[in-house]
Structure 1
Amino acid sequence: MTRLQDRVAVVTGAAGGMGRAHCLRLADEGADILALDLEQHAAGLAVLAEEVESRGRRCVTGFADVRDPLAVEEAVNTGVAQTGRLDVVVANAGVYADLAPAWELSDESWQRALDINLTGVWHTVRAGAPHLGAGGSIVVVGSVNGVKGGASAAHYSASKHAVSGLVKTLANELGPQGVRVNIVHPGSVATPMILNDEVYAKVRPDLPNPTREDAAAALARRNILPVPWVDPVDISNAVLFFASDESRYVTGTQLVVDAGLTQKV
C-alpha cells in the first residue's frame, strides 16, 4: 500500500500503545518513521524499529521527553538529518493517570497532565513544523475528554480541551504554508492507558477489586456500539487519513473515534 510512499513521519510516545500502532500503520502505507519516546522505553523502541524495518521501511529512533523543548527539538532535528525530510508530525504522547475528583488532585498531578498533554504537543509541533513543506500534515491525538467532561479527570479533560483549541489556532497559522493540522479524539482504546487497575476501579467503584472483564461490561454500556473499547489500529486509521492526501483539503477538524460514546443518550 502506498498512501504515504517515501514520506517521513515523526511520532511521539512511539514505543507502545497507540504510538506503536501509528508507526506500524503509517509504515504499512510506505512511510519511514522517526519514533520518539522516553529513554526508559528504549527496549520498546528497539522492538518497534525491527517491526517497521520488517515492513521494508526505515525507522530512526530517538529519546525525548515532550516536556523538554530542547530535547524534542534536538531529537527531531537529528532524525530529520538522517531521513532527509519530514512530511507528517503525529503528536501522540499523553498521560491519563492520578484519577480523582478535581478538589483532591495534587498540584503535581494537575501540572504533569498539562505539561505532557498540552505543552508537550506544542513542543512537538514547534520542533516539527519548520521541517514541513506544502502538503505537510500535523495530527494531534486528543481524547473524547476534549469534547466532553470526565469525572475524576479534570486535569486530563482540561488539557485535552486546551489542545483542541491549539489545533484550531495552528490550522489557521500553518494553512497559508499548505500545512494541515487536525485532531483525532479516541474514546476508550485497548492499551495500557485504559487496561489498568486504576481505570477499572474508576468505572466499577461498586467492586473492591474489579477485573478487566468487570470494566469491559461497564465501558460497553457507555457506548452506542456494543463494544467496550476500540483497538489501537482504529485510531491509527484516522491518523493515516489525516496524514495522507485523502484529507488534502481538511484542516482544523476534529474526528471522534469512540464507538459512539460522546453521542450516547
Structure 2
Amino acid sequence: MTDDPRNAGQHPFPGEPTQSAPGLVAAMRNAPDHGERSYVGKDLLTGKVALITGGDSGIGRAVAIAYAREGADIAISYLPEEQVDAEETRNWVEQAGRRCVLLPGDLRSEGYCRDLVAQTVEQLGRLDILVNNAAAQTMNKTLADITSTDVEAAFQTNVFAMFYLAREAVPHMQPGAVIINTTSEQAKVANEKMLVYVATKGAIASMTVALSNLLAPEGIRVNCVAPGPIWTPIQPIAKTTEELEQLGADTPLGRAGQPAELAPAYVLLASREGSYITGALIPVTGGVSML
C-alpha cells in the first residue's frame, strides 16, 4: 500500500458483476481488502470480547480481523445465506490466535437480538464491545418506488436492531465498555436515490449522541463511524456494473475506500486510546465533508 491516499486502495473496479441481496465477498470479482495481509495489532484489546453485526464481510470483517489481532475474542452476526463469508472471517480470527463464535440469524427479529447477546456472553464469557455494523440498503428513482416493506425492513435492520442489541448488551457491560455504531456519510450528504437508507443512517447518528449521554454516567462510551463509499458486498447489490466501476470517483480523493481503511477508527474507539471520545461521529469518507 502506498502512502499517497489517492492510490492507497484499488480503483476502479472493472467488470464487477451485480449481485442479489444479501451479497457475498466470495462472489466479488474485485476482492476487497479487509486488512488480511496488512493489519498489525498492538495488543490494544487484549482480553476483550467483541460482538460485531455484519461481521462476515466488508467493514465487519475488517473490524473482526483488526480486533482479533489486537487481542480480542469475537462473536459475529450474519444472515444464514452469508455462511461462506462468515467461515472465512472465522479463519482469519483464529489465525490470529483468538476465538470466533458464528451466530447466524436475522437482526429484524427482537428475539434473535436477545439471543445474540446471550450466546456471546455464554460462549465467550463477557461482552466489552458491541459493534452495530450490519445494514440494509435500498435504492430509489422516485418516491413511488419506495414500498412500506422497504421502509420497515430497513428500519428494522439498521435502527431497531441497534436499540435491541444495546438494551440487551448494557446489563453485561462494565465501565470501560463501548458501543460503536456504523452510520454513513449519507446521514448528512443525503443522496436522493437512497431516501430510506439516508433516513436510517440519520437516525443512527442522532441515536448515538443520545445513547452516549444516557450511558456516560455508567462509564460506557458510545460513538459512531461514518463511512463514505467503501468497496463491500453492499455495493454490487445496489448499483450497476457501470456505477461500480466509478465508485468513489467523485470524492476529493477520487476513489472508493477499502474496508481495511475503516478498521483503525473502530480500534481507536474500542480501546483506551479513545477514552475521552464519546458521542462522536468519525467520518471516513475520502474527503467528503459532513459539516
TM-score normalised to structure 2 length: 0.81
Q: CA RMSD in A?
A: 1.7
Q: Percent identical across equivalent pairs?
A: 29
Distance in 2 of aligned mates of 1:56 and 1:124: 27
The CA deviation at 1:152 is 0.9
The more displaced of 98-107 and 56-65 is: 98-107
Gaps of 5+ in 2: 1-41
Which residue of the partner structure matches residue 244 of structure 1?
A: 271
> Residue 247 of structure 1 aligns to which amino acid in structure 2?
G
> Residue 79 of structure 2 aligns to which amino acid in structure 1?
L
Which residue of the partner structure matches residue 112 of structure 1?
A: 153
Contact 2:56 2:76 in 1 (8 A): yes
Question: By percentage of residues, which structure has more helix?
Answer: 1
The CA deviation at 1:75 is 2.0
Distance in 2 of aligned mates of 1:90 and 1:254: 14
> Residue 259 of structure 2 aligns to which amino acid in structure 1?
P
The CA deviation at 1:38 is 1.6
| 1:145-190 CA distance string (max 9 Å, x none) | 1122112111011111111111111101111110000000000001
The CA deviation at 1:197 is 6.5
> Residue 95 of structure 2 aligns to which amino acid in structure 1?
S
| 1:2-33 CA distance string (max 9 Å, x none) | 00011010000111111111111111111110
Contact 1:101 1:153 in 2 (8 A): no
Distance in 1 of aligned mates of 2:203 and 2:92: 34
* Consecutive aligned runs of 4 or more in structure 1 exceeding 3 Å deviation: none
Distance in 1 of aligned mates of 2:48 and 2:228: 28
Contact 1:197 1:210 in 2 (8 A): no
Q: 2:228 aligns with which of 187, 199, 202?
A: 187
Distance in 2 of aligned mates of 1:180 and 1:144: 21
Contact 2:75 2:100 in 1 (8 A): yes
The CA deviation at 1:67 is 1.1
Answering whether residue 91 of structure 2 is matched by residue 63 of structure 1, we say no
After superposition, the Cα gap between the structure-2 partners of 1:212 and 1:104, relative to the gap in structure 1 and judged at 3 Å, is closer
Contact 2:139 2:195 in 1 (8 A): no
Distance in 2 of aligned mates of 1:211 and 1:164: 27
Distance in 2 of aligned mates of 1:78 and 1:211: 40
Contact 2:138 2:196 in 1 (8 A): no
Which residue of the partner structure matches residue 260 of structure 1?
A: 287
| 1:47-85 CA distance string (max 9 Å, x none) | 221210111111111123111111111122112111111
Answering whether residue 253 of structure 2 is matched by residue 225 of structure 1, we say yes
> Residue 210 of structure 1 aligns to which amino acid in structure 2?
E
Answering whether residue 216 of structure 2 is matched by residue 175 of structure 1, we say yes
Gaps of 5+ in 1: 201-208
Distance in 2 of aligned mates of 1:211 and 1:225: 17
Contact 1:13 1:92 in 2 (8 A): yes
